[in-house]
């Protein structure tokens, strides 16, 4: 159990310790690791944090992120799985997985509530062009209680080369490699989490309200390109969602590193993410950051995941250090030649 019970002590100020690295894997203390924080958390954020923890703490569980390989989806085509394709109707008609149904991102809640019985399926697999929109959607659904939802890694780009040519193979780039920074940027000063203003009085009601609002906004508001970020990185609060050795090897100027299993749902860490500035969160491939973006947007942050992740701005660097740093640069080897239905 995390220390959310501290939030319910009836004091004007609450002192929370920042989380530290596990024993045996300690990291050097930086300015980001402030000893104590004297910041109160608004009521709705407190209720939502507590509710998400009580219902499984998904973002800190072994199921996060819920990704599935295209090869597994292909091998299980005859299984009791349900494939939902989130791409546009035009893209869907141009080629899709056999048995897949085309559902728009914004209508996902209605589809799951009225068109199917989700838990009658072993798996519900979400697919899109790149794997990032489906990751974003899968995270929202998991957080809302749909425990059998998965996102297909690399999207349709992994299914057949005809899709990869227009997305992942086109999205990889080394254009901004010469602007990588290796200095560590401290986190922002702790502050309150966003005020969501739902007017609801229970964590479940707040989650329901936020889930519907975030899905209704569509997926476009939750993604951003490397060109947009590098044009004016100072406009954003940039979160590097990677291991420290990867961060130290080169990151977007001004990016602050946050731990993948030590940030979301941890109040003291989330308080250092400013609510009044657009957030860009990125990782190696954009999958993990899309899952994290969904969590932050549920809490009212203006968060966006970087399309294609590090692959979109430092691809050659990733290829060069692929083995040493366990990078995942997308390549032809990730593309299958599976049949598509038109």
Dump pLDDT digits (tens) for 205-223: 999 999 999 999 999 999 9
Average confidence (pLDDT) over 157-175: 97
Cβ(280)–Cβ(239) below 8 Å = yes
In a domain, 340, yes or no: no
Encoded tokens for 142: 């998991």
Residue 126 lies in a domain: yes
The pLDDT of residue 37 = 52
Rounded to a whole number of angstroms, the distance between the first and last alpha carbons of the chain is: 49
**Secondary structure of 229-261 as H, E, C letters:** HHHCHHHCEEEECCCHHHHHCCECCCCEECCCC
In a domain, 334, yes or no: no
* Mean pLDDT value across residues 151-176: 98
Q: How many domains does the chain have?
A: 1
Q: For 96-149, what is each residue's pLDDT tens digit?
A: 999 999 999 999 999 999 999 999 999 999 999 999 999 999 999 999 999 999
The whole-model pTM stands at 0.89
Whichever domain contains 32, its CATH number is 3.40.250.10
Query: Does the pLDDT of residue 276 top 50, yes or no?
Result: yes
Check: CB of residue 255 under 8 Å from CB of residue 4: no
Average pLDDT of the residues in 153-167 = 97
3-class secondary structure for the chain?
A: CCCHHHHHCCCCCCEEECCCCCCCCCCCCCCCCCCEEECCCCHHHHHHHHHHHHCCCHHHCCCCCCEECHHHHHHCCCCCEEEEECCCHHHHHHCECCCCEECCHHHHHHHHHHCCCHHHCCEEEEECCCCHHHHHHHHHHHHCCCCCEEEECCHHHHCCHHHHCCCHHHHCCCCCHHHCECCCCCCCCCCCCCCCCCCCCCHHHHHHHHHHHHHHCCCHHHEECHHHHHHCHHHCEEEECCCHHHHHCCECCCCEECCCCCCCCCHHHHCCCCCCCCEEEECCCCHHHHHHHHHHHHCCCCEEEECCHHHHCCHHHHHHCHHHHCCCCCCHHHCCCCCCEC
Position 6 scores a pLDDT of 37
pLDDT value at residue 266: 96
Residue 333 located in a structural domain: no
Q: CA 152, 157, 162 angle in degrees (round to 5)?
A: 145
The answer to the question of residue 62 being in a domain is yes
Residue range of the domain that includes 171: 1-328
Residue 273 has what pLDDT?
A: 98
Residue 121 inside a domain? The answer is yes
Is residue 318 within 8 Å of 284, Cβ to Cβ? yes
Domain membership flag for residue 130:
yes
Is 178 buried (19+), middle (13-18) or exposed (0-12) by CB count in 10 A? exposed
Using CA atoms, how far apart are residues 133 and 130, in angstroms rounded to an integer? 7
d(CA 83, CA 125): 5
């Amino acid at each position: 159990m995390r220390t959310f019970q501290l939030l319910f002590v009836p004091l004007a100020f609450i002192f929370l310790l920042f989380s530290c690295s596990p024993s045996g894997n300690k990291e050097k203390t930086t300015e980001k690791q402030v000893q104590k924080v004297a910041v109160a958390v608004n009521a709705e954020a407190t209720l939502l944090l507590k509710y998400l923890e009580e219902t499984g703490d998904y973002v800190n569980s072994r199921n996060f992120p819920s990704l599935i390989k295209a090869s597994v989806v292909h091998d299980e085509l005859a299984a009791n799985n349900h494939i939902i394709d989130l791409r546009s109707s035009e893209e869907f008609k141009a080629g899709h997985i056999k048995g897949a149904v085309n559902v728009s991102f914004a209508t996902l809640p209605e589809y799951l509530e009225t068109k199917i019985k989700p838990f009658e399926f072993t798996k519900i697999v979400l697919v899109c062009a790149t794997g990032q929109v489906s990751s974003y959607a899968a995270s929202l659904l998991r957080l809302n209680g749909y425990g059998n939802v998965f996102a297909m890694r690399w999207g349709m780009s992994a299914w057949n080369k005809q899709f990869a040519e227009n997305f992942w193979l086109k999205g990889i780039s080394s254009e901004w490699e010469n602007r990588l920074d290796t200095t560590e940027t401290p986190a922002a000063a702790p502050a309150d989490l966003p005020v969501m203003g739902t007017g609801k009085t229970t964590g479940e009601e707040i989650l329901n309200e936020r889930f519907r609002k975030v899905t209704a906004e569509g997926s476009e508001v939750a993604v951003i390109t490397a060109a947009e970020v590098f044009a004016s990185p100072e406009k954003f609060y940039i979160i590097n969602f990677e291991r420290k050795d990867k961060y130290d090897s080169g990151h977007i100027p001004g990016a602050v590193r946050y731990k993948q299993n030590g940030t979301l749902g941890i109040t003291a860490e989330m308080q250092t993410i400013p609510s009044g500035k657009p957030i860009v969160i990125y990782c190696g491939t954009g999958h993990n950051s899309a899952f994290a973006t969904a969590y932050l947007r549920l809490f009212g942050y203006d968060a966006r995941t970087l399309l294609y992740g590090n692959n979109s701005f430092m691809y050659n660097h990733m290829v060069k250090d692929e083995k040493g740093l366990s990078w995942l640069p997308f390549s032809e080897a990730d593309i299958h030649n599976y049949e598509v239905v038109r």
